[in-house]
Amino acid sequence: MNRAVPLFLIACFVLPAVSFGVAADETKDIPANAQETGVHNSLVDALAHAGLVETLQGEGPFTVFAPTDQAFTDAGIDLSTFDTEEENETLSTILLHHVVQGAVDAANVTDGMVATTLSGYKVAFTVTNDSVMIDDANVTTADVMASNGIIHVIDKVLMPPGDIPTIAQDTGVHASLVEALTKADLVTALQGEGPFTVFAPTDQAFTDAGIDLSTYDTAEEIEALADILQYHVYAGAVPSGNVTDGLTVAMLNGDDATFTVANGTVMVGGATVTIADVEASNGIIHVIDKVLMPPADEPVAVDPFEGVTCAATVGIDSSGYAFTPIVVNIAVGETVCWSWEDSSMPHNVKEVDGFKSTTYVMGGVSSGAAASTVAFHHTFTEDTTFYYACEPHIGLDMFGEVRVGNGGAEPATPDTSDSGSDDSEDTPGFLVIPTLFAMIAALVLMGRYDKQE
């Protein structure tokens, strides 16, 4: 009971305070007075069952909105069914939703006043000419004084707000939303702890959007529906007072939603918030008049050369009329890639039969029709020189060349026409030297012969 709840004043309870079945005793605490009324036995039993009697015997002051026995019967609350720890915690929350910390008398209340109970949830007051209501319960007897606070008798059990799907189911205008959540298997998720902020389209909003849930059959369609619904959910509590013009938040599906605030009207995307701040046990609901459609997902960029190792990549130069580089050298077994995107004019790669030839090779390598975006590759498996041109610009000398390995050149071989002779002897340069020696030797002999004569 250490939850801090601000004291609030209730003014002008128009119903006069009347006594219980027995006169109230201002010297007795709240549970003792309730026990003696004769019409609050169920309340006293419930307080005992939930272990709250001692709490309401404390110093206080407390204000208790006390449902009658008939109110408990009307609510279908059977205390014998509250057995587990979880069930008793639920009962405790219900009972604390009838208690406000502070002395609340019948003075100066205004229509629309809101107070926070010890359950942590809010209750709202409605004041008309002849009655006062707290949520949907009528105050039938006001200002019954006790030693540690005040009792006001009411004719209904106040129920804390349910979770988001439960509240949506009870509004009467969100049947399509509840059906969609069920179909997309999101009910359990929105029953979680949260807090969540849900922008809840009405049934009319679903009709206006042309969403026919009977057509969502396949796994892909259900996934698309789930994406739409998650675009209406923010993971966190966002009351309307925290929304500012231009605020952008990431919704549960990962896409951003932007708010517009103008002249007291709040919009999210193209939808108007028609009812704001509907409290739920695990978040807040804002009612909207349109179904929010997620923005179209940007296409995932695909690498056109995924799995390809480009030994060289050829593009288009800044002039738009030449390949770059014009000549590439690769090894046998390597791949050349041609790539350009959104070029100023269409280009292609088409094999020709020689250097700057204008004759295309029938059935040769080609990237296909000329295009402003091309991603083409070819793997060369033998020594060769590959010549190609850009078909639309062949008249402008837009040629390219790929040299693979040795380029396909024939190796130099010696002349073997006289295969039976010794190559070294058939070489004219080789015969010059012995001829010179023979001439010199002849001259020497002739000189000796002349001297003898």
**Which domains does the chain possess?**
30-154 (2.30.180.10), 164-288 (2.30.180.10), 310-404 (2.60.40.420)
- Regarding pTM above 0.75, the answer is no
Provide the pLDDT confidence category of residue 13 given band limits of 50, 70 and 90. Answer: very low
pLDDT at residue number 214: 92
Task: With a cut of 60, say whether residue 17 has pLDDT above it.
Answer: no
DSSP letters for 106-168: BSS--TT-EEE-TTS-EEEEEE-SS-EEETTEEEEEEEEEETTEEEEEESSPPPPP--HHHHH
The single residue listed with the structure tokens 């380029």 is 407
pLDDT at residue number 416: 47
Token duo for residue 31:
């549970």
- Range of lowest pLDDT (14-28, 78-92, 208-222, 237-251): 14-28
- What's the CA dihedral at 445, 447, 448, 453 to 10 degrees? 130
Phi, psi at residue 394, to the nearest 5°? -65, -30
Closest CA to 232 of 209, 200, 206, 261: 200
Contact status, residue 261 vs residue 249, Cβ threshold 8 Å:
no
Helix axis angle for 219-230 and 175-183, nearest 10°, is: 130
Q: How many helices (H) and strands (E) does the chain have?
A: 11, 22
Contact status, residue 289 vs residue 205, Cβ threshold 8 Å:
yes
Amino acid at 150: I
Average pLDDT, the chain: 86
As a whole number, mean pLDDT of residues 43-60 equals: 93
As a whole number, mean pLDDT of residues 241-259 equals: 94
- Percent of the chain as helix, strand, coil, to the nearest 5: 25, 25, 50
- What's the CA dihedral at 438, 440, 445, 451 to 10 degrees? 170
The SS3 assignment for 242 reads: helix
Calculate the CA 112 to chain-centre distance: 38
Query: How many angstroms separate the CA atoms of 306 and 298, rounded?
Result: 20
**Tens digits of per-residue pLDDT, 72-119?**
999 999 999 998 998 999 999 999 999 999 988 877 677 888 889 999
- Range of lowest pLDDT (47-56, 64-73, 120-129): 120-129
pLDDT at residue number 424: 43
Query: How many angstroms separate the CA atoms of 346 and 235, rounded?
Result: 49
Contact status, residue 312 vs residue 330, Cβ threshold 8 Å:
yes
**Tens digits of per-residue pLDDT, 397-433?**
999 999 999 998 765 555 544 444 444 444 445 454 5
Query: How many angstroms separate the CA atoms of 265 and 97, rounded?
Result: 32
Percent of the chain with pLDDT over 90: 69
Task: With a cut of 70, say whether residue 52 has pLDDT above it.
Answer: yes
Provide the pLDDT confidence category of residue 258 given band limits of 50, 70 and 90. Answer: very high
DSSP state of 39: S
pLDDT at residue number 148: 93
Provide the pLDDT confidence category of residue 434 given band limits of 50, 70 and 90. Answer: low
pLDDT at residue number 435: 56
Q: How many CB atoms lie within 10 A of CB 129?
A: 5
**Tens digits of per-residue pLDDT, 151-198?**
999 999 999 999 999 999 988 999 999 999 999 999 999 999 989 999
Task: With a cut of 90, say whether residue 310 has pLDDT above it.
Answer: yes
Task: With a cut of 50, say whether residue 4 has pLDDT above it.
Answer: no
Calculate the CA 49 to chain-centre distance: 45
Of residues 11 and 315, more confidence is placed in 315
Token duo for residue 182:
């069920």
As a whole number, mean pLDDT of residues 37-66 equals: 93
E-strand stretches of 196-236 = 196-201, 233-234
Task: With a cut of 70, say whether residue 19 has pLDDT above it.
Answer: no
Return the bridge partners of 144, or none: 151
As a whole number, mean pLDDT of residues 239-260 equals: 94
- Range of lowest pLDDT (22-36, 123-137, 217-231): 22-36
The single residue listed with the structure tokens 């049934």 is 203
pLDDT at residue number 298: 61
pLDDT at residue number 370: 95
| Burial label, 171 (beta-carbon count in 10 A; 0-12, 13-18, 19+) | middle
Cβ contacts of residue 324 below 8 Å, gap of 6+? 314, 315, 316, 317
